[in-house]
Amino acid sequence: MNPPTPQYIFRGHQAAINTLCYFGDDQFIASGDGDGIIIVWKMKTRRPVLKWKAHEESCLCVKVYKDRLVSQGRDDKIQVWQLPDLEEIAVVVSVSDAQNLKPPTLVFHIPYDSLNFCKFSLCIIPDSVLLAFPSNGDTPLVDIYDLTLRKWAIRTIGLGTTAGLSKKGLCMAVELVEKEEKIWLLVGYEDGSVSMWFCDVIQRVASLVWDVQKHKQPVLSMAVDRSNTWVVSTSADNQIIKYSIQSGDVLNQIALKKSGIAAVAVRPDNKIFATAGHDGKIRVFSCSSLRPLAILTYHRESAYCVAFGTQSDCNWLISGGKDARISLWAIY
């Protein structure tokens, strides 16, 4: 059987692609690169509909909620952009060039300290949109910001909670989780540990629920399943670990032949997840058993991001990395 090949290659970036996300019922893709450029693509036509310089330095993360795009840069800014009507723009772009269009309107920005490469996590709850990212300075602490109210929800999560927190090093990955109308925060640290915090946004305090150290190298990425019952973490080492969100118990663990998994994403149906490796390989696994299902080979340099989307009854996987290319795969 021949190895799988990409269905399409998106070309438009000139620098390493650090972040990818589907949005708008998976009709659009947003990507951000090392030059601070963001491109919004229409999935159906595979064409860019917006392209603008969002940051003076590398763009680390892009997420979309409603009609707003949030971007995080190494220029110490998290910025919120008002997106135009993308369907109307797509018609204009069919006879024009995306980079010549007016960029989205910058609504406001949040100053932050981009000391490390931890990407923010965005969580939509009934009354607010919350954003989690590392606190300022050389610290493992985390802040939560309310984008709706434009104010801090909880600051310096972890301060004074455990004597051992200072030994964890930098905060490397965060994931906000809403479960049973409560907010929880998963944090992956430089020492390879993962912690779960209960966040009371009314009282503006957080308490440690569990803390587990299974990785031997810094945690690089985490992803939570749609039912919010488990989380999978990847690291600079060769381990992939699945934990119970409720207890922190390790449900499963596998070791790869290659070290360095930069990103992980779980498909919305909870059947499979995918990882992006420093060796350029995209690996697909079973969510239930962690059994390897496929190795997708296209990127000749490190892969940095993966994302899932569904369109026209087809499950899509996209990946991007150092080669400035986005590969599109049809998966199961």
The yes or no reply on domain 15-114 and CATH 3.30.70.260 is no
Query: Which among 194, 283, 284 has a CA at the least distance from the CA of 241?
Result: 194
Query: Which among 70, 80, 71 has a CA at the least distance from the CA of 106?
Result: 80
Tens digit of each residue's pLDDT, the chain (332 residues):
566 899 999 999 999 999 999 999 999 999 999 999 999 999 999 999 999 999 999 999 999 999 999 999 999 999 999 999 888 887 777 656 777 778 899 999 998 887 778 999 999 998 899 999 999 877 899 999 999 999 999 999 988 765 467 789 999 999 999 988 899 999 999 999 999 999 999 999 999 999 999 999 999 999 999 999 999 999 999 999 999 999 999 999 999 999 999 999 999 999 999 999 999 999 999 999 999 999 999 999 999 999 999 987 899 999 999 999 999 999 88
**Strand 205-213 relative to strand 59-65, pairing:** unpaired
Q: Are 26 and 43 in contact (CB under 8 A)?
A: yes
**Strand 151-157 relative to strand 142-146, pairing:** antiparallel
- Burial category of 207 from C-beta neighbours within 10 Å (exposed 0-12, middle 13-18, buried 19 and up): exposed
With 0.75 as the threshold, say if the pTM is over it.
yes
User: Going by C-beta distance under 8 Å and a sequence separation of 6 or more, which residues neighbour residue 241?
Assistant: 194, 214, 215, 232, 233, 250, 252, 253
Q: Is 204 left (phi over 0), alpha (psi -120 to 50) or beta?
A: left
